[in-house]
Chain A
Amino acid sequence: EVQLVESGGGLVQPGGSLRLACAASGFTFSSYSMNWVRQAPGKGLEWVSYISSSSDTIYYADSVKGRFTISRDNAKNSLYLQMNSLRDEDTAVYYCARDANGDSDYWGQGTLVTVSS
């Protein structure tokens, strides 16, 4: 069974940093690209970042470019999102999602990041 489990969310002050992790199991992690998608409270879905299976291709949304860094460790079946210079508007539930052929076929349960003083 495919499972994605996010961790690392929490309360952080504006300007602070946080590192999210996503532990994958039930599939060959190294064969799949991955995405981070977020959802602000009461709002819609926003794609954040993409990383290819071998980490050679990476994309970011303009809203996080230069502040967030996506990475992965295929030996540990893990995906990461390093978030720096956090802003109020980064407050959201962050989901990791497996990339099938562009669509996201499996999603984690999400981890809540709250940016507030």
Chain B
Amino acid sequence: AIRMTQSPSSFSASTGDRVTITCRASQGINSYLAWYQQKPGRAPNLLIYAASTLQSGVPSRFSGSGSGTDFTLTISCLQSEDFATYYCQQYYSYPRTFGQGTKVEFK
């Protein structure tokens, strides 16, 4: 199985900050990567697919980049509603695997 490793696991930030989360795959996955946001008690919400394509309805402050093994999710200007946990997921092969999550907390 392909292992997905996110960093950091958690961090504190303030509204207005530029935030970057990284995700590394244990082997190449082309651009078969998605990013999800999850808030407590809620289902995950798709933000980015194909590594860099913004899902419809997702604010443009979210962006994704990367291919192969290294990927990033960037929030250009953190808003209060963005404090949540973020997961990457590869869909290059089965079993599909998620990163362990990155929790963005309020500083």
Q: CB within 8 Å of B: which residues of A?
A: 35, 37, 44-47, 50, 59-62, 95, 100-105, 107-110
Contact = CB atoms under 8 A, between A and B. Distances in A.
Interface residues of B, number: 23
Contact of B34 (A104, A109, A110): A104
Contacts of B94: 50, 59
Interface in B28-46: 32, 34, 36, 38, 43-46
A56 to B, nearest CB: 15
- Which 3 residue pairs are nearest across A and B when measured between Cβ atoms? A102-B91, A103-B34, A107-B43
Given A104-B46, A107-B43, 15 more contacts: A44-B87, A45-B36, A60-B95, A62-B1, A62-B95, A95-B43, A95-B44, A101-B50, A103-B89, A104-B44, A105-B46, A105-B49, A107-B44, A109-B43, A110-B43
Interface of B: 1, 32, 34, 36, 38, 43-46, 49-50, 55, 87, 89, 91, 94-101
A45 B46 contact: no
A112 B87 CA distance: 21
B101 A47 contact: no
Contacts of B1: 62
Residue among A44, A45, A109 with the highest chain B CB neighbour number at 10 A: A45
5 contacts: A35-B96, A47-B97, A102-B96, A103-B91, A105-B49
Given A59-B95, A61-B95, A44 B46 contact: no
A78 to B, nearest CB: 18
Given A59-B94, A107-B44, A100 B49 contact: yes
Contacts of A46: 98
A62 B50 CA distance: 25
Nearest to A107: B43
Contact of A45 (B55, B89, B91, B95): B89
